[in-house]
Amino acid sequence: MSFDRDLFLPVSREDMARRGWDFYDFLLITGDAYVDHPSFGPTIIGRVLEAKGYRVAILSQPDWKDPAAFTVLGRPRLGVLISAGNIDSMVAHYTAAKKRRHDDAYSPGRRAGLRPDHATVVYSNRVREVFGDIPIIIGGLEASLRRFAHYDYWEDKVRRSILFDAQADILTYGMGEKASLEIAARLASGTPVGEITDVRGTCVAAKYPGLCAYPKVEVPSFEEVAASKEAYARANMVEYQEHDPVVGKAIVQKHGNQFLIVNPPAPPLTTEEMDWVAELPYVREPHPMYDEMGGVPAIEEVRFSVTHNRGCFGACNFCSLAFHQGRAISCRSHESVIREVTALTKHPGFKGYIHDVGGPSATFRRPSCQKQLKYGMCKNRACLAPEPCPNLDADHTDYMMLLRKLRAIPGVKKVFIRSGIRFDYLMKDPSGEFFTDLVQHHISGQLKVAPEHCVNHTLDYMGKPHIEVYEKFREKYFKLNRRYGKDQYLVPYLISSHPGCTLEDAVRLAEWLNKEGHMPEQVQDFYPTPGTLATCMWYTGIDPRTMKSVFVPKTPHDKALQRALMQWRKPQNRKLVLEALHKTGREDLIGYGKRCLVRPDKGQALGEQGSHTRPQEKGKVPSRSKQDSGRFDGRRRVEKKDSAAQGGKPVRKAGWAKAKAPAKKGVKKRG
């Protein structure tokens, strides 16, 4: 389906001419295709500026090899805003193994290669080349996470703040609406860009640190963190702790003969401000110029989804959210979300299903505790891991009532949650009523959660709860599924090769997965992205929270061993699995017993656990069920009957499989 291009922000001189524009204020360059939807950061900034009266034009995925491509819309009156897009351009281009990706969901027709590596830097340098001293403001996730001197995994070195490499005047970090509007207002008033140095949520370069307008703390310089991993770890921890809109200080970091000044974070949007931003006149579709190119695939995941919150106090150490959106929660009003969903029911492609009502973590709609509103987030502990804070407010009532209202909207058949449930947070809900609603109404066949591992000290390095919390959640999940006759999966996310995970730990994870009757079809290898605490551990071998050394599986072979153990049943992984078991002295897992991961080679001694049993049906493992869609193996365990819950009938209760309703009387069940 195609939409009138005049509903979009202008992308050509012809578009501007139809509007009667003889000038425009801001050129907004993005590394993504132009999708006019509130899930795309550059679009939000463009619409916010437009709503305040500024003229904004979009230049998406310009040919960075041709300087003339940056002048096709002419010179803007006030400045150029640059974003690499919704994700870091290096993550968009490369896998965790540093292999080039073959497609790009954020580009028309999934075509790869339409933006450069380090897109923010390249675009900014091209703009400086063609427009000279025009104000350049960089932002978006790539700029936000690279605002300090940072380790770059793809080049395997510490790079300067992206502000210096991009030759930009200002860097906005986090969710940049407030910072962008303040910068725009000052530029429109005639203030030189060099004098706009005190906007919260921004970074600037200065010749001396005294230019900073806020209480400040200085971290080791670029030269120091590039030379010393201990200095890097110290700096990273301060940068993380001061990312707090309530009590966070400005941070100064010297780069050569200049100083990077990172002003404190901008305050999170209020509910009224969130409503306003969310209800701007987005078309919610890719620009029609992409119709003949196959459209933009990224829209499919979000077209009929609603974002109701921002921020995440879960603070997983491998996640960039805490360093970008922050740990403070903002949320929209019920009325605003209801208006958006009601409008979606009138979309010509709507079939009755809201795919998601979420955000960074779907269930967060309130501060983690009341103290943070006055004192900010605690610096010496996390809200949820390894144990939930005693002050944690885990009441899910507000979110539950919002979902109930959405389910009642005419034309809505189902409202699903796909953006992540914090199972540890859910287990602390004092009423448990939301859990019941979740199982009955909001799961589209499978619920995705993220235990990530099973070994407690590895989970501590991840910033995740211990595995016992997940196991209690899983037990309750399947109990509720059985109670309500639901046939729904539980899909775990797991990470291999995370800092702190030894080969012995990886074997224990494989052993645990085998016990649960599950082998993941896909494995997520740890990906060191800029700014996170886990990336600091990966680069330095130091846990910045304690300054103690941490084991890091770095070599391709070390990572391959851990990856293979999570998929031990695949024939191509056999040699690696055997090698890992021999290296760790776990030959007891080589054999034919149910605990064993692989059978021995001919002439090889059996492990103690496997030496007394023989495989059934010539050792073949039951094939996966067709209903499992490639995510689950077909193994099922019949556990002891729970007479109270099931009337004395045995039920399948494999942790990773579907939760089955009690079999009808007289119907034979497979064991």
All domains of the chain in start order, with CATH = 5-262 (3.40.50.280), 574-620 (no CATH)
AA identity, residue 425: Y
Q: Nearest 5°: phi and psi at 158?
A: -90, 125
Q: Is the separation of the CB atoms in 137 and 80 below 8 Å? A: yes
Of 156, 145, 316, residue with least CA distance to 239: 145
Residues 160, 23: Cα–Cα separation, whole Å:
36
pLDDT of the residue at 607? 52
Q: How far apart are CA 467 and CA 316, in angstroms?
A: 15
Alpha helices (H) in 204-345, listed in sequence order: 222-227, 229-241, 271-278, 321-324, 334-344
DSSP E strands in 333-441: the ranges are 353-354, 356-358, 414-415
Q: What pLDDT score does 662 carry? A: 44
Alpha-carbon distance of 368 to 118, in angstroms, equals 35
Regions in the chain scoring below 50 on pLDDT: 608-671
Burial class (CB in 10 A: 0-12, 13-18, 19+), 283: middle
The answer to whether the CB of 268 falls within 8 A of the CB of 201 is no
Question: In this structure, what token pair is assigned to residue 410?
Answer: 């005419």
d(CA 498, CA 564): 14
CA distances to 1, 281, 376, 409, 515 from 345, in Å: 16, 16, 39, 9, 45
The predicted pLDDT at position 664 comes to 41
In this predicted structure, what is the pLDDT of residue 463?
A: 95
- DSSP state, 614? -
User: Pairing between strand 446-452 and 258-262?
Assistant: unpaired
- DSSP 3-state of 344: helix
- Neighbouring C-beta atoms of residue 662, cutoff 10 Å: 15
User: Which residue bears the tokens 């009387």?
Assistant: 665
pLDDT at 602: 74
- The pLDDT of residue 634 is 32
Residue showing tokens 């809201």:
354
Going by C-beta distance under 8 Å and a sequence separation of 6 or more, which residues neighbour residue 498? 318, 452, 453, 458, 461, 462, 526, 534
